[in-house]
Amino acid sequence: MGTKGMESARDGRKVIFLDIDGVLQPGSWQYRFEHDLEELRRNLAEKYQDDEYLLVDRYDIGAVTYDWYPDAVANLKTLIERTGAEIVVSSDWRRSKNLNWLKLLFRIHGLDGFIKDVTPDMSYHREEEIYAYLTSCNDVAGFVVIDDMNLLKGFPDNFVWVTRGYFNSDQLDMALKILVRKPAPAWMPNWMKPRRRPAVTSSKKHIAYFSVGCQWACQRHEQKKRLREERRK
């Protein structure tokens, strides 16, 4: 890790909320089906001396090995090296894989040491899942959300929208600016913030006063009407 990354890490945790499909793995890349994935699993188990690879889905291993875009992986490594950030997986991949298996997959690209956690499962509401993770922590100094799903409304100051199939150099620059700026903006999404009641204009005040006056007049009229009826009796 570079000096900049180490200095940033001392200021508090920097977190990358990372999607995988459409960020590291372009949707059009399906090269894993051209390879012997059973052999790949065995080779990885032998390479790392870890039989857990024999239990991981071979198509997941094949996707990480053959379908993750090299430039996207390189850009992610650069982001980590220059900011000292750690990865919290927000991708749907976390739903079918435990944290240990995710680390096994990221180890193929030398990134397992930066996988720290996953966001909670809240029925596919990704903004709420990220927000729930943030509210459960008090040591996050800054964060960036990298996703091919448009989460700009929820995180307008901390979001990088990957729209070209993979995490490219332009998006890397955006993520760097978000993570290195100081002080970091409040991380509560706009849609979670309490809304201010609109100010009452003078015309609205007049209408309100008129309405109250009408109600009072109607009540007085009913009271007088009841009194007249009682006197007649």
Question: What pLDDT is stored for residue 210 in this prediction?
Answer: 40
Task: Provide DSSP, 43-61.
Answer: HHHHHHT-GGGGTS-HHHH
Dihedral of CA atoms 60, 64, 65, 70 in degrees, nearest 10, equals: 160
Question: What pLDDT is stored for residue 137 in this prediction?
Answer: 85
Helix locations, 84-201, DSSP H = 99-107, 126-135, 169-180
Question: What pLDDT is stored for residue 15 in this prediction?
Answer: 97
pLDDT tens track, the chain, 233 positions: 443 443 444 457 999 999 999 999 998 888 999 999 999 999 999 999 999 999 999 999 999 999 999 999 999 999 999 999 999 999 989 887 889 999 999 999 999 999 999 999 887 789 999 999 999 988 899 999 999 999 999 999 999 999 989 999 999 999 999 999 865 555 555 555 554 444 444 444 443 444 444 454 455 555 555 655 666 65
Question: What pLDDT is stored for residue 4 in this prediction?
Answer: 44
Taking every pair of C-alpha atoms in the chain, what is the biggest distance, in angstroms? 106
Q: What is the Cα–Cα distance from 107 to 98, expressed in whole angstroms?
A: 14
Contact 141, 12 (CB under 8 A): yes
Question: What pLDDT is stored for residue 144 in this prediction?
Answer: 97
pTM of the model: 0.75
Q: What is the Cα–Cα distance from 81 to 90, expressed in whole angstroms?
A: 20
